[in-house]
Structure 1
Amino acid sequence: MFRKTIGLTAALLVLSGAPAVAAETVRLPEPDGPHKVGVTTLHLVDHQRTDPWPDALGKPREVMVTVHYPARTVRGYPVAPQMTPRAAEVFAQLDAVHGHPELPDSGVDWAATKTHSHVGAPASPTRRPVLLYSTGGGDPRAINTGLAEHLASRGFVVVSMDHPGETSEVEFPDGRLRTIALPEDPRVKPAIFRDMIAVRLLDAKFVLDQLEVLAAGGNPDAAGRALPRDLHKALDLRRVGAYGHSAGGTTASQAMYEDRRIDAAVNLEGYLDYAVEPGKPGELLPVARDGVDRPLFLVGTDGYLDDRYRTSWAAMLSHGPRTRHHEIADATHWVFTDFAPMSAQLVDARLMTEQDRVHLVGEIPAARSVPLVRDLVGSFFHRTLRR
């Protein structure tokens, strides 16, 4: 989740000096499904809700999402970068240096990474299951691009949310950029963690509301920017899943409990309680206290075990067979993100030590972890959203 990012501001980061000369470009693994992938972004503004965080206090709540979808054709449509140049510059300072100190503090051109998705490509006009993704605390939605692309290539529409104010960087279409603005560290201040999850749950509900506008043929983008052709025909909102990493896993699990529109969820190593003190079990979230009548898949690692994780997940599993569990061996917390393949390349380039790679993602090699995570998440949703 969060490490040393609280209290830093975008101004300090961007004005701290010229970035180091880029030397290495990291690559994302190719999706292996039968569909080519299109991508677009939506800027969504909730005028019924005000933002709770200090940098935007009292303003309408804004959410940025990226939509990956099976494309009818990609010919003539450019490949999307993983991050825009400005977002990559801030990521290199805030997330790569302070959020994930295992990563190199120079020598990587984060803006040069290309995805396998094509901007604005027309959607295949066939109704597809929709998956809502929520990021880990502090991480941008871009850092789970590889899994989102893979799922889209396998026939899902994947809608990835950032949660502005507690994400390392969120860039809006008008050029504004928000960084982390939480007043205190949610790992050690239970009230902040509780507030953070509450905001995320409202973000998820709002995004689902806006997807209903989109599926009905409307344009929910705040500026009315052009949408890819036939995108509205690709959404089957009768089949909705949610997945998330870390705090995003917490969000996906509780969102399914609260919102009947969500049919199944995957929790990639997110706590299911409100901490009283760091690492110690606290009050269970309602989903873990009461259970849920739809499929929930808890996926964890053997390298990320503490009392909160054990206790809250055991409570969830006690409710019966609707909840399944899988533990990945020789792995740890960020193995579920693009840091898994990226860190292996950085070790090969001698920009990162093997010890730091293991600390970030575990001993498991990317050649095994990437297809394993893809299969666990994809197979679960193929089973549970098939109808």
Structure 2
Amino acid sequence: MNRMRATASVALLALLLPLPLAVAGTAAAAPPPAVSAADTGVVLPELPRPTGRFSVGQETLHLVDRSRTDPWAGSGPRELMVTMRYPAQRGTGGPVRPWLTAEEARLLLADRGLEQAVAVESLTGTKAYARSDARPVAGRYPLIVLSPGFTVPRATLTSLAEDLASRGYVVAAVDHAYETSGTAFPGGRVLTCLACEKAGSPEGRTQVTDNRARDVSFLLDRLTSRHPAWRNAGLIDPKRIAMAGHSIGGSAAVAAMAADPRIRAGIDMDGGLFSPVPAGGLGGRPVMLLGSQESRPGNTGTDEYGWDPNWKRLDGWKRWITFDDSNHFTFTDWPTMSDQLGLPRSSPLPGARSVDLTRRYVGAFFDQHLKGVPQPLLDGPGRDAPEVRFHTP
């Protein structure tokens, strides 16, 4: 199997494996302190605090696209669950919402084979920072759409979403119906992964990618229309929109750019490009490929889904960056949560460092391309980040 077939399958197959997986011969460093629930003894992980100057507000949207039949259910309209995060006034808003609901947590742990190792309460009680319904800070902010990996919920990108919002972005993290182990929808419904039965082939993965691109265009329509679906949509600057995604969500970010010119920039975090970059490029728009140590040039495969052949078609500003000692989940909340839960590490890079590097490079990319603030961090390696590699295929 060539590498982007491994990373092509990283977007699917690796996500179907229990997580995290121990790496033979890897000595795990002592995990950082975790918060414990005094009444139950359950370990409650704590996500790293956002680094920006703003507090963070959070609201949840349920969106229904009645113009499309759901491709996985074969009936009924296409539905999305979206968590909106935004710069908020300090001291406002209600409690922080659970990282997952109890049923979402139960289904995710069962999907990973971790029912006996991790308590449901550890996931529902994971500490985050966005306050529900907090009052927004007046202004107009760039919008970033985040799409998670296949089978995992949008909650897995919470650390990144909260950090971006604290730095002055509106962030829309999306769960695509029937593509996770379990996502709670209104009416007490929890939709499970019907797509898992149909996405095992290259054609199926392309269908997931293209379908997500259509989801995102619908989301942008609903957030930027004259009668938007979100009450705080006036915060969004419709001329500064970008997208990032993990795994197949990263593939969808590039596909959404190809399909929707409103998306000015995109980041693919370790996902195979199941909808290849068009031969004519992306109109000069910037793209960053941010990968694990396995996603280096010459190691991503030569088929149409690989980063190597698609790199040549990217016709604007572009970077190919990898982190040493990392793995496919480095760009999500999982590493820092796993460290605190005492689970075996799947790569030597500590969880807190994984979050720090991901936030730093993703934030720099959007600051440069949506806010026009030059970022020397993106020009090449730095002494303060020896794990980071810049590649020029």
TM-score normalized by the length of structure 2: 0.79
Deviates most, 310-319 or 139-148: 310-319
1:258 CA displacement: 1.4
Cα contact 1:291–1:316 (8 A) shared by 2: no
Deviations 1:70-97 (A, max 9, x none): 0124435222221122322222222x32
| Percent of aligned positions that are identical | 36
2:59 maps to what in 1?
40
The 1:196–1:307 alpha-carbon spacing in structure 2 relative to 1, beyond 3 Å, is: farther
How is 1:201-280 mapped onto 2 (pairs within 5 angstroms)? 201-213=213-225, 216=226, 218-220=227-229, 227=231, 231-273=232-274
Shift of 1:212: 1.0
Cα distance in 1, alignment partners of residues 312 and 336 from structure 2: 34
Provide the C-alpha distance between the structure 2 equivalents of 1:198 and 1:286, rounded to a whole number of angstroms. 11
Partners in 2 of 1:58 and 1:76 — Cα distance?
A: 38
Does the aligned pair in 2 maintain the 1:22–1:107 contact within 8 Å?
Answer: no
Match of 2:280 among 281, 290, 311: 290
User: Residue by residue, what CA displacement relative to the aligned partner does 1:84-127 show, whole Å, maximum 9, x if unpaired?
Assistant: 22322222222x32xxx6x9633452111131000011111200
Question: What does residue 367 of structure 1 align with?
Answer: 352
Task: Quickly say closer, same or farther: Cα 1:106–1:22, change in 2 above 3 A.
Answer: farther
Q: Call closer, same or farther: CA 1:181–1:4 in 2, change over 3 Å.
A: farther
Take 1:34 and 1:5, find their aligned partners in 2: how far apart are those partners?
34
- 1:182 is paired with a residue whose SS is helix
Task: Give yes or no for the alignment of 1:338 onto 2:333.
Answer: yes
Residues 1:309 and 2:300 aligned together: yes
Q: Is the 8 A contact 1:2 1:185 kept in 2?
A: no
Aligned match for 1:377, one of 362, 365, 380: 362
Provide the rounded CA distance (Å) in 2 between the counterparts of 1:62 and 1:253. 21
Deviation for aligned residue 1:138: 0.8
Alignment equivalent of 2:322, drawn from 327, 333, 348: 327
Q: Secondary structure at the match of 2:128?
A: strand
Return the offset for 1:308: 8.0
Task: Determine the structure 2 residue equivalent to 1:126.
Answer: 139
Counterpart check, 1:86 vs 2:103:
yes
Structure-1 residue corresponding to 2:290: 299
Paired AA for residue 298 in structure 1? L
Check the 8 A contact 2:44/2:127 in 1, yes or no: no
Q: Are 2:167 and 1:154 aligned?
A: yes
Counterpart CA distance in 1 for 2:297 and 2:152 is: 21
Distance 2:105 2:164 in 1: 24
Q: Secondary structure at the match of 1:334?
A: coil
Aligned mates of 2:272, 2:41 — CA distance in 1: 37
Quote how far apart the aligned CAs of 1:27 are.
1.3
> How far apart, CA to CA, are the structure 1 residues paired with 2:15 and 2:369?
37
Distance 2:149 2:59 in 1: 21
Tell me, yes or no, if the aligned pair for 1:289 and 1:315 is still in contact at 8 Å: no
What's the Cα RMSD here? Answer: 2.3
CA contact (8 A) 2:151 2:193 kept: yes
Judged with a 3 Å threshold, the aligned counterparts in structure 2 of structure 1 residues 61 and 32 are, in CA distance, closer, same or farther, namely same
> Take 1:137 and 1:76, find their aligned partners in 2: how far apart are those partners?
32
Q: How far does the alpha carbon of each residue in 1:296-346 deviate from its partner, in whole angstroms, 9 at most, with x for none?
A: 000111135698834321223224552211111110100000002111112
Write out aligned runs for 1:348-367 (5 A). Answer: 352-353=343-344, 357=345, 359=346, 362-367=347-352
Deviates more, 1:165-174 or 1:375-384: 165-174
Alignment-mate amino acid for residue 207 of structure 1:
L
Counterparts of 2:147 and 2:107, CA distance in 1? 20
Tell me how many residue pairs correspond in the alignment.
Answer: 333
**Superposed displacement of residue 197, structure 1:** 1.5
**Is residue 256–residue 262 contact of structure 1 (8 Å, CA) maintained in 2?**
yes
Q: Which amino acid aligns with 2:97?
A: A
SS of structure 2 residue aligned to 1:80: coil
Q: Residue 144 of structure 1 aligns to which amino acid in structure 2? A: L
Bigger relative contact order (CA 8 A; separation at least 6): 2
| Contact 1:38-1:74 within 8 A present in 2 as well | no
Q: Is the 8 A contact 1:29 1:146 kept in 2?
A: yes
TM-score by length of 1: 0.80
What SS does structure 2 have at the residue aligned with 1:115?
Answer: coil
The one-character-per-residue Cα deviations of 1:190-238 (angstroms, maximum 9, x if unpaired) are 221122112111111111111113xx4x3526xxxxx4xxx22211111
Question: Amino acid of the residue matched to residue 58 of structure 2?
Answer: V
1:23 aligned residue: 42
